[in-house]
Structure 1
Amino acid sequence: MIWIKRGGWTLLVSLLVAFIALATWEPFFAQRGEASEGVHTYRAEIIRSEYGVPHIYGATDPDVAFGVAIAQSEDDFFTLQDVIAMSRGRYGAIAGEDGAAVDFVYHLLDARGTAERHYDSLPKDTRALLEAYAAGLNQYAEDNPDELKLANLFPVNGKDIAAGFALRQPFFFGLNNVIQPLVSGEPLRREFGPDIPGFPRDANGEVIGPDFDGEPADAAHYTPFGEDGVLNGSNAFAVSPEKSGGPTTLISNSHQPLTGGVAWYEMTVESEEGWHFTGANFPGSPYPFLGHNRHLGWTNTVNRPDMVDIYKLEMDESGTRYMLDGEWRDLESKTVTLPVKIGPVTLPIRREVHRSVHGPVIINDNGAFAIRYGGIDRIEQLDAYYRLNKTTTLEEWQAQIARMAIPSTNFIYADEAGNIAYVYNAAIPDRPEEVEANWRGVLPGNRSDLIWEGAVDYAEIPKLINPSSGWLYNANNEPYTAAGAVDDIDPESISPILGVELKQTNRSRRAWKLLSEAEVLDRENLKRIKYDTAYEREGYVAELWDAVEAHDPGADAELAESRELMLSWDFTADNEGPADALALLMIRDFMSAEYQNKEYPDVEEMLREEINHLKTHFGRIDPPMSELLRLRHGDVDLPLDGGSDTLRASTTWRVEDDGRLRLVHGDSFIQWVEWRAGDRVRSQSIQPFGAAISRPDSPHHTDQMELFVNHQLKPVHFWREDAIANASRRYVVESN
């Protein structure tokens, strides 16, 4: 008995030691980060507006970048820590299995190696900006240890910031939709619709795309969708003074998640070195990505060019070498440790990552596949965004875009001189046209002539400068509808090897129609267009209504009632019709199916599912849509209009326990900019929640919500004297 008791204590102690080890190993294994070398001092003034939006002022650009880090940490240090953890391969220690998946991609893409290889080649002033931003994060972490999620996450340095860019940028053009199916061994999504010029076809004219074994299959590449299958989108408009009857107008209407690592954060930055810009960034950036300065501005929308090529490698029996041009080469392989938080412990999970000369390699049951993508092994976007902030003319601005340093996203531009422009920006791979290959399929990995270098020239990508229509727009549609029938780009003028998408969105159809019909695009008409809630009966909308009309409910009275309600819908998501709620629930899955080239859902199954949802939570199938769709944050709960893929975008929602749909992705940062002849630039903006996004105790946690739901904007205090005059708080931050 004594031996048993002693053995029990031994086992208990062993278990306790194991538990402590699993609960504490990760920060020691990860090791403490390193601050930048040298002694630097920074000083910035932060002027908070009546809505808490920071105007950050400093003598130098690095002073301002330091202030940006402090201001955003004050408002959302919760999210900033997630972003920094991603940039150091430690997100799994915060977010568990989902975070570990991000960490795996971090190692797979060699984000850290990319930053370390190229960081020193960035211009000195850009590096100084990144180092100052890192210093601001470090200081906030040091001053607020009670807010830290992970031990040894700080200090960080400029290379950490650069590694975060290298990791996250490819996800904007859908690299995740290649990695995920390759890791799981599932079929790849087809990238384009069947009308793409030059897409290979079989004897019956059907589009083909090789699967893993090189045989025809219904998949070829990727699409830039979130996990719920909904397109990551935005709207953008630019209008010349001749067409507006007054100012040159730029409307930025981004659709992003409302919270998290790619949610917009609004700010104005100003230094005595000439940096003066207002707009928004994502957590982890020292400068805005879109907005305006005194002279010009731009906004972005996601585009979907063919940015990724996949190669099937020919491996030897050992699985450690691959064939290239008749010679065996060693596959680069290394084992990485992924931290996976499960409850109170963090498990160390070991995984192998591989690389070939093509790029990252994923091995699954179907073989070994290498990935090469636009912007691979480059971090010049860190410099390009900074330079764009400081451009003053269309020529300077185009020179920065022409570097092809920013891997993707459309740009819509306007300036004080009355110029407007649209650029289908993408660092599209410079694929050799003389080489015979199916670039839309899985390529043979044993030929070096299929391994391209760099991006196509700026001259090759679609663009429009100052169209005669006087307006430009993009709503995540093909670039061939942008300025009206007279000015739109001819698809035949663009090489099919670029892989430019041929897709329309309902937002595009509505924008093109409404902009074309308007004789004058003054503020009133532009506001009507921007907040439009209607659907055109085309594409997936037509498919849904044709299916509803054709459906025979038989003797099922409930189905018959819901069918008639759907057929009575007025094709608007404006909260006014009895069918709006049911249509809102029905339409999104049809939209997702069209954009992903999947089969449309079964109408009867969908009707039954949505009838059940509405009756369970509302007791009827025709509740007001405003009771169903809600903007919720903190203690505020407000009704919303708009639907998936309307210009007033309520794109993605989460079903709450009470059956309401809480918006999580859609209209987010909106900015309306005007340049009038002889006047200084003026702008207004709005966010769905407030500046202090993750600070429930702040008065600026939810103070923009009422304006947002009522289609109202707040003033942007771009000019320093305006910022001071409207300040709710004004203070100085300095480095320790």
Structure 2
Amino acid sequence: MKKPPGSHHRPRGVSRRRSDGRIMSWRYSPPGVRSSRLRASKTPGRVADRAPEKRGLRGDCHMNRIVKLALFVLSALVFVMIGVLFVLGLRLSALELRSFDPEAAIEAASRHDAEITRDAFGVPRVIGAAGPDAAFALAFAHAEDDFPTVQDALRQALGRDMLAADESEAVTAWLVQALGVRALVAERYDSDLSDEMRAVLEAYADGLNYYAALHPHERGRDLFPVTGEDVAVLSAFYSPMFYGLGRVLADLVAPDRPREAGRGQELQVFWLEETSDSELGSNAFAVAPHRSEDGATRLIINSHQPVEGPVAWYEAHMITRDGRLDFAGGTFPGSPVLHLGANPRLGHAATVNAPDLIDLYELVLSDDGRRYRLDGEWIELEIEPARMLVHLWGPFAWQVTRPVERSAHGPVIRNDQGAFALRHATHDDIRSVEQAWRSMQARDLSEYHAAMEMLAMGNTNRIAADRDGRIARYYGARLPLRLEEPGLDWSGVIPGDRSDLIWTQFAPLDALPHMIDPEAGYVLEANHTPFIVTGTDEDPDQADFPQSFGIETRMTNRALRAVELMASLETVSREALLAVKFDDAYHPESEMMALRRQLLAMDWDFDPALQEAARVIALWDGRTDRENRQAALAVKVFAPITTAPLLGIEPPPLTETFPAAVERLMTHFGTLEPEWGKVNRLVRGEASIAVSGGPDVLRAVYPAPQEDGTYRMAAGDGLMFLAEWLADGEFALWAVHQFGSSNRPDSPHFTDQMDMFAAHDWRRVPMGEDAVRAAAVEIYRPGAR
């Protein structure tokens, strides 16, 4: 067969020298003519016949053909394997799924008029011409202090657009798609949010994009440019996690997955992490002038969060030159608003409550599993694919697709027990960020009440006070109006074949159990029932509210102590109020003290070590001050039992926790009675400080066990504020943070408030632009530091 020229012939005169010095040459034979013989000379320049070498060459060629065949087969196998991997989900992927233009980010930043001031503690106090400018500066300042955590938080909102780093991020990407959060925001962003709110969200995104453009070495993959919708998605995604959606999903999808007791103090935002799915507490107090010893109005803001991570408090202050905003408070990474704090006219504290905001419906499926029965008819399940892309290495990623099913109730999850549809209170609401924005600008209790009427937040108690001496305890909750029917238990699984059980309306604010301007002159909140606040007839009556609301009736230890201590004060001085806030004791009726009584009633005579330990428990006075020598054993014995329900696990028995605590203390401290402060530590980097407090005391310190036998504070008091409107009209705001304003270890503000926090001390917060500028040690425009 005719072959193209040069396919296997070399032209005349082409030669090469062998390694033994001989010259190998080829003579060209035209196509169709027998090729020339290979001739080699024994000496350079002489060509002679070498038949034996020709036979050797034929052997070499045969071997080469075998090698080539093997390589071909191997290559084919590799290609087949790659093809199989691609069918299974392997993908070539860009390391960034979004295209970021730094020049465009810098151009967008030039449109904002804002400054950042830093006080002696490094706290950012931003000043903008208007709200969006202040939000732009807030984003930039937060990025300066903790850019990695801000990025980690916002990545959770990406859904299918996330190039996940690991399985946990892939699960979050699935969850965002299963709950339909991005789709909901895309649908309602323009209609449900005000023009001002959208401008604030987009300006906040501009601030993050600007920082990313100026610091490319800190910029993570696939997030930038951040959009206003991303910020709104994060807010909408977080909202149901605060009222327990994470635990419900975990129980449905992975009911047997263990939860680690040592990490039980963390708020579960990643929903399947081995953590608790709710913060373990918050405190708040407000005292009106007529109950205050000096005629002042006071507000204590004390929300408990993890001390580190995506829902740890970050302190900031937002001021606008249009006069609408002068608010100092706390926020979370990725949020353009401050969720609690005060302006010179009004302050508000936030805690979570626990009404029934989530319903599970058990579906009746057709034989093929594609339809569900509703009102006697078969309805097709809505099905769409969820995509999770997990980065492997280089340009490779692993794509996993899972169907997301939905019924008229909401997303559907199948497990071994059947198919269950999920409906939660904020499933169709993206306005929680706007309610927070309006609350910051409220100038009196009436305006604050109007913001609360939005009911855009799923579950949030609010304690508010204003300069006119008005105080309030709001039970804020987006409570579904459910069908009241004998025998129907809304706290359990609901039949999924009746459309009249799919609620669409919510109770108005005025239908909830609030206390506004009570004659008692104070209100308090410690994650407990709203039906016991002052212990007087002014407290809301449980009988006035439908059982289907699921309003909690539980009293925490903090609530028992707070109610008792406040009721005992005829008038409330500043010092007395702070003593209540920093109280470190367990109430006799608390679960902790009940466990103490139970342990002491048991017989430990069979083991001398446990008998001695029981003597130590008998000496414990129920307090958790740093000098207490029995608190370490008591907390180590009882805390695993009291926190187990919050983890969704079965409480271990005393017969297990008691000897374990004894062994742990003896192993690491050589005594059953170390000072509590040697065990209970506030730790960051190389700094480790003794702290008073414990789980569910008013001086809240939720501990995580460490390998050296100590406890590290994992959650609790954290960022706190004390707002005071004095009788002479002066406003004073005080604050303290458990660590400092920066999350960067090389910053002087990484740990500069730890001593102050441990000593129950405060620092004064400057309010108003003039005072903020006067207190500043640094003033700069974003990007010009």
The TM-score, its normalising length taken from structure 2, stands at 0.84
Distance 1:90 1:680 in 2: 52
Task: Name the residue aligned to 2:734.
Answer: 684
| 2:176 paired residue among 106, 123, 127 | 106
Deviations 1:100-145 (A, max 9, x none): 2222221111110111111001111111110100111111111111
Distance 2:74 2:419 in 1: 48
Aligned pair in 2 of structure 1 residues 714, 8: CA closer, same or farther (>3 Å)? farther
The residue correspondences of 1:217-228 to structure 2 (distance < 5 A) are 227-228=275-276
The answer to whether the 8 A contact 1:633-1:702 is kept is yes
Distance 1:620 1:8 in 2: 67
| 1:126 paired residue among 180, 191, 197 | 197
Aligned pair in 2 of structure 1 residues 399, 225: CA closer, same or farther (>3 Å)? farther
Aligned pair in 2 of structure 1 residues 50, 263: CA closer, same or farther (>3 Å)? same
The residue correspondences of 1:171-210 to structure 2 (distance < 5 A) are 171-184=241-254
Deviations 1:575-611 (A, max 9, x none): 2232111112122123224667976432121111111
The answer to whether the 8 A contact 2:97-2:163 is kept is no
Aligned pair in 2 of structure 1 residues 6, 639: CA closer, same or farther (>3 Å)? farther
The answer to whether the 8 A contact 1:475-1:508 is kept is yes
Task: Name the residue aligned to 1:302.
Answer: 352
Aligned pair in 2 of structure 1 residues 515, 48: CA closer, same or farther (>3 Å)? same
Query: Displacement of 1:656 after TM fit?
Result: 2.6
Distance 1:341 1:583 in 2: 46
Task: Name the residue aligned to 1:243.
Answer: 291
Give 3-state SS (helix, strand or coil) of 2:724's partner. strand
The answer to whether the 8 A contact 1:636-1:702 is kept is yes
Q: Would you say 1:717 and 2:766 are equivalent positions?
A: yes
The answer to whether the 8 A contact 1:47-1:724 is kept is yes
The answer to whether the 8 A contact 1:235-1:301 is kept is yes
Give 3-state SS (helix, strand or coil) of 2:719's partner. strand
Deviations 1:549-587 (A, max 9, x none): 122123311111111111111100112232111112122
Query: Displacement of 1:387 after TM fit?
Result: 1.2
The answer to whether the 8 A contact 1:66-1:134 is kept is yes
Distance 2:646 2:479 in 1: 21
Query: Displacement of 1:229 after TM fit?
Result: 7.6
Aligned pair in 2 of structure 1 residues 337, 238: CA closer, same or farther (>3 Å)? same
Task: Name the residue aligned to 2:777.
Answer: 728
497-506 or 82-91: which moved more?
82-91
Identity of aligned residues (%): 36
The answer to whether the 8 A contact 2:481-2:507 is kept is yes
Task: Name the residue aligned to 1:116.
Answer: 186
The answer for unaligned runs of 5 or more in structure 2 is 1-65, 260-270
Give 3-state SS (helix, strand or coil) of 1:259's partner. coil
Aligned pair in 2 of structure 1 residues 326, 30: CA closer, same or farther (>3 Å)? farther
Give 3-state SS (helix, strand or coil) of 1:733's partner. coil
Distance 1:538 1:600 in 2: 19
Aligned pair in 2 of structure 1 residues 39, 620: CA closer, same or farther (>3 Å)? closer
Task: Name the residue aligned to 2:488.
Answer: 437
| 2:117 paired residue among 39, 42, 47 | 47
Give 3-state SS (helix, strand or coil) of 1:428's partner. coil
The answer to whether the 8 A contact 1:420-1:472 is kept is yes
The answer to whether the 8 A contact 1:430-1:452 is kept is yes
Give 3-state SS (helix, strand or coil) of 1:424's partner. strand
Aligned pair in 2 of structure 1 residues 703, 6: CA closer, same or farther (>3 Å)? farther
Deviations 1:145-181 (A, max 9, x none): 111232x310011111111112110011111111111
Deviations 1:603-628 (A, max 9, x none): 12111111121122222222211111
Task: Name the residue aligned to 2:159.
Answer: 89
338-347 or 581-590: which moved more?
338-347
Q: Would you say 1:497 and 2:548 are equivalent positions?
A: yes
Opposite residue 184 of structure 1, the aligned amino acid is A
Q: Would you say 1:648 and 2:718 are equivalent positions?
A: no
The answer to whether the 8 A contact 1:416-1:677 is kept is no
The TM-score, its normalising length taken from structure 1, stands at 0.89
Deviations 1:170-210 (A, max 9, x none): 01111111111111256999xxxxxxxxxxxxxxxxxxxxx
Please, what is the CA RMSD of the aligned residues?
A: 3.0
375-384 or 86-95: which moved more?
86-95
The residue correspondences of 1:56-67 to structure 2 (distance < 5 A) are 56-67=126-137
The answer to whether the 8 A contact 1:42-1:734 is kept is no
Distance 2:691 2:313 in 1: 20
Aligned pair in 2 of structure 1 residues 6, 652: CA closer, same or farther (>3 Å)? farther
Aligned pair in 2 of structure 1 residues 229, 452: CA closer, same or farther (>3 Å)? closer
Task: Name the residue aligned to 1:271.
Answer: 320
The residue correspondences of 1:482-521 to structure 2 (distance < 5 A) are 482-521=533-572
Give 3-state SS (helix, strand or coil) of 2:319's partner. strand
Give 3-state SS (helix, strand or coil) of 1:605's partner. helix
Opposite residue 769 of structure 2, the aligned amino acid is R
The residue correspondences of 1:614-625 to structure 2 (distance < 5 A) are 614-625=665-676
Give 3-state SS (helix, strand or coil) of 2:673's partner. coil
Give 3-state SS (helix, strand or coil) of 1:87's partner. coil
| 2:458 paired residue among 384, 402, 407 | 407
27-36 or 72-81: which moved more?
27-36
Give 3-state SS (helix, strand or coil) of 2:239's partner. helix
Distance 2:390 2:273 in 1: 25
The answer to whether the 8 A contact 2:680-2:691 is kept is yes
Distance 2:658 2:167 in 1: 34
Opposite residue 740 of structure 2, the aligned amino acid is G
Give 3-state SS (helix, strand or coil) of 2:482's partner. coil
The answer to whether the 8 A contact 2:146-2:742 is kept is yes
| 2:473 paired residue among 418, 422, 426 | 422
Distance 2:381 2:643 in 1: 38
The answer to whether the 8 A contact 1:84-1:161 is kept is yes
Task: Name the residue aligned to 1:321.
Answer: 371
Deviations 1:201-254 (A, max 9, x none): xxxxxxxxxxxxxxxxxxxxxx99982487531000000112112310000011
Distance 1:331 1:229 in 2: 29
Deviations 1:259-292 (A, max 9, x none): 1111111111111221221111111111101111
Give 3-state SS (helix, strand or coil) of 2:156's partner. helix
Q: Would you say 1:146 and 2:211 are equivalent positions?
A: no
Query: Displacement of 1:485 after TM fit?
Result: 2.5
The answer to whether the 8 A contact 2:287-2:523 is kept is yes
Task: Name the residue aligned to 2:67.
Answer: 2
Give 3-state SS (helix, strand or coil) of 1:243's partner. coil
Distance 1:171 1:370 in 2: 17
Return the index of the structure with the highest Cα Rg: 2
The answer to whether the 8 A contact 2:97-2:161 is kept is no
Query: Displacement of 1:397 after TM fit?
Result: 1.0
Give 3-state SS (helix, strand or coil) of 2:476's partner. coil
Task: Name the residue aligned to 2:333.
Answer: 283
The answer to whether the 8 A contact 1:250-1:413 is kept is yes
The answer to whether the 8 A contact 1:92-1:98 is kept is no
Distance 2:90 2:73 in 1: 24
Aligned pair in 2 of structure 1 residues 657, 24: CA closer, same or farther (>3 Å)? farther
Deviations 1:426-483 (A, max 9, x none): 0011113368632122111111100111311112110001111111101000111122
The answer for unaligned runs of 5 or more in structure 1 is 190-222
Structure number with the bigger relative contact order (C-alpha 8 A, sep ≥ 6) is 1
Aligned pair in 2 of structure 1 residues 158, 729: CA closer, same or farther (>3 Å)? same
